[in-house]
Amino acid sequence: MTGLSEPVAAVAAHALPSRAKPPQRPLDAAEWAATRDTVRSERLWGLLAAAVVDGAFPVTPQQTEEVVREHADAMAAVLSLERILLQLDQDFYAAGICYVVLKGPSLAHTAYPDPSARCYGDIDVLVHRDDLDRTVALLQRAGCTRPYPEIRPGFDRRFGKSVTLIRPDGVELDLHRTFVAGRFGLSVDLDGLFTTSVGLSIGGRTLPIMGSEERLLAACYHAAVGDADPRLMTLRDIAQMVLWGEMDVDRVEGLAERWRARAVLARGLQLAWDRLELMPRPPLVERSAAYRPTAAESRAVASYTVGRSSTAQTLSALGVVSGWRDKVAFLAAVLVPGRGYLDRHGPDPRRYVHWWRRGLRSLRRAVFPT
Amino acid sequence: MAATSAALPPGPVGSWVRSPDVLWRWSLDRVLLLPPESEGPFVLTGPGAALWDLLEAPMSTEALIVELANLYDVDRDTVQAEVVPLLAELTERGGLRLLP
């Protein structure tokens, strides 16, 4: 999100101590249209509805109607997603699949006093790497399709970030092995996420979610090195958890240290506080702001953000892949992807040549930056 | 407020609770419910939403009627005539349960 407008920032930071001020009077048609479009793309209807109900964001009767309609639609959508999640939980339980719920549902029900403030549009779960292949197979048997083939057999389970599946009803399921691709995703203690998981009661079932400290760190991964332009909802999640969540901040920092993610934590917190114009800074944010990443960490973060280079990410990831056998397997998969992966848009022998040329150009840029 | 009339039959005996397997969300002044057997969510507005709000803790039919009558400043007979069928419908649709 670049060039964040004041009304959007005020919505994203509603009820938080922020310098972003909502408008004094209802927005005119053009301002409203721009704000509404961003609210929609950033899934901020829950926060806008809360701001309208609280009288903090003045709207015209027509705009109120729009908020009522859009929020009800968004809530109907999340209820449908939660129903799918309950079915998944039942299926995973029956198949003995070890998993935790990520993002939307787990945050809506834990970080916010009212889950209707937190909208989401898909389902993300973190599956234990040993169960990933059979989870994909289970869901494919149930009719899900996989739009992007695996880069090479076994890559997802060993090094991948996630597998995206599309259900027959069009709902996207993201089966994560870890939070993000590359170096930062490979150094997370994934086994630990399952041993410290806790239960979340939804619809008569108890779903596994990560512990509160892990949830904050996961949100920081998504904000800091996930999307090139972090979602406002993710930044709000971070602020919400830091300001109102019950967590052990020493444990947050300890986990970040163990996961080699101090730079990720620092950047995630900084992005949240800067973009949402929050003040003052709690001790965790203050300490993180003082953190000075190493040169290697800075390069690794830059590979996800500035210019976003998959080659630079790969080179950086090699440093945390343990053992020569795994390093070779990782590099081989990235350099020589399977035919099925390259032919996902239809067979074309020239794709291998293009892949190599593009890879070499990118490698040259990463190793010899101008 | 008018006192409870003997003209209407009393509602079911027991405590009403939200069904634990219903999925639900507030949306401004209304509440969307999605019980397991329901094809899609349905919406409660006005007194229906107020009733759902009151059922954050288990309540008897009588207590619900009293609370709603006070809330909307109408007599209990009127509330009872509306609430008893609503409770039955919500139970039928999987949103509520009556505990003995």
DSSP line for A288-343: HHT----HHHHHHHHHHSSS--HHHHHHHHHTTS-SHHHHHHHHHHHHS--HHHHG
- Shortest distance between the Cα of A102 and any Cα of chain B, in A, equals 18
Instruction: Pick the range with the lowest mean pLDDT from A143-157, A207-221, A234-248, A313-327.
Output: A313-327
Instruction: Classify each residue of B50-83 as buried b or exposed e, where b means 16 or more C-beta atoms within 10 Å of its C-beta.
Output: bbbeebeeebebeebbbbbbeeeeeebbbbbebb
Residue B60 to chain A, least CA–CA distance (Å): 22
Rounded to an integer, what distance in angstroms lies between the CA atom of residue A249 and that of residue A263? 16
Residue A62 maps to a domain: no
The reply to whether A122 falls in a domain is no
Averaged confidence pLDDT in chain A: 90
pLDDT band at A129; cut points 50, 70, 90: very high
DSSP string covering B6-61? SSSPP--SSEEEE-TT-EEEEETTEEEEE-TT-SS-EEE-HHHHHHHHHTTS-EEH
Model confidence at A1, pLDDT cuts 50, 70, 90, reads very low
Residue A199 forms part of a structural domain: no
Q: Which residue in B18, B19, B23, B56 has the most chain A C-beta atoms within 10 A of its own C-beta, making it the best mutation to test that interface?
A: B23
State residue A310's pLDDT score.
66
What confidence tier does B3 reach under pLDDT thresholds 50, 70, 90? very low
CB B1 within 8 A of CB B70: yes
Residues linked to residue A80 through DSSP beta bridges, in sequence order: none
For residue A79, give the nearest of B21, B30, B32 by CB distance: B32
Whole-number pLDDT of residue A157: 84
Neighbours of A33 (CB within 10 A): 11
pLDDT at site A367: 56
Confidence class of residue A284 from pLDDT cuts 50, 70 and 90?
very high
Q: Does B28 touch chain A (CB under 8 A)?
A: yes
The number of folded domains in chain A is 1
Using the beta-carbon criterion (under 8 Å), do B25 and A78 form an inter-chain contact? yes
B23 inside 8 A of chain A by CB: yes
- The answer to whether position A319 is within a domain reads yes
Q: What is the mean pLDDT of residues A320-347?
A: 73
Reduced to 3 states (helix: H, G, I; strand: E, B; else coil), residue A91 is helix
Contact call for B27 and A80, based on CB within 8 A: no
> Chain A partners of B30 at a C-beta cutoff of 8 Å?
72
Average pLDDT, stretch A85-102? 98
Q: Which domain holds residue A351?
A: 303-370
Say if residue A257's pLDDT is above 80.
yes
Across the interface, whether the CB atoms of B32 and A67 are under 8 A apart is answered: no
Whether the predicted pLDDT of A65 surpasses 90: yes
Q: How confident is the model at residue B2 (pLDDT cuts 50, 70, 90)?
A: very low
pLDDT value at A353 more than 80: no
- Nearest CA-CA distance, residue A27 and chain B, Å: 20
Structure tokens at A308: 């976003």
Minimal C-alpha gap between B77 and chain A (Å) = 32
pLDDT band at A309 (very low <50, low <70, confident <90, very high): low
Give the residue-averaged pLDDT of A175-185. Answer: 93
Q: What does the CA dihedral A342, A344, A346, A349 come to, rounded to 10 degrees?
A: 10
What does pTM read for this prediction? 0.88
| Residue A344 lies inside a defined structural domain of this protein | yes
Domains (range + CATH), chain B? 15-95 (1.10.10)
Please report whether residue A327 resides in a domain.
yes
| Residue A155 resides in a domain | no
| Residue A119: closest C-alpha in chain B | B25
pLDDT of residue B4: 46
Look at residue A177 and tell me whether its pLDDT is greater than 70.
yes
Chain B contact set for A117 (CB, 8 A) = none
Q: How many CB pairs under 8 A join A and B?
A: 53
Q: What is the pLDDT of residue A267?
A: 97
Examine the pLDDT at A147 and tell me if it is beyond 60.
yes
For residue range B21-76, list pLDDT tens digits in order: 999 999 999 999 999 989 999 999 999 999 999 999 999 999 999 999 999 999 99
A113 touches chain B (CB under 8 A): no
User: So what's the pLDDT on residue B19?
Assistant: 96
**Mean pLDDT, range A211-218, rounded to an integer:** 98
Give A49's contacts in chain B (Cβ within 8 Å).
Answer: 27-28
ipTM of the complex in this document: 0.88
Residue located via tokens 């739009």: A147
Closest-approach residue (CA) in chain A for B36: A83
**Cβ contact, residue pair A82, B41, below 8 Å:** no
Residues in B closer than 8 angstroms to A86, CB to CB, are 23
What is the per-residue pLDDT for B12? 77
Chain B hits for A78, Cβ within 8 Å = 25
Give a yes or no: residue A293 inside a domain: no
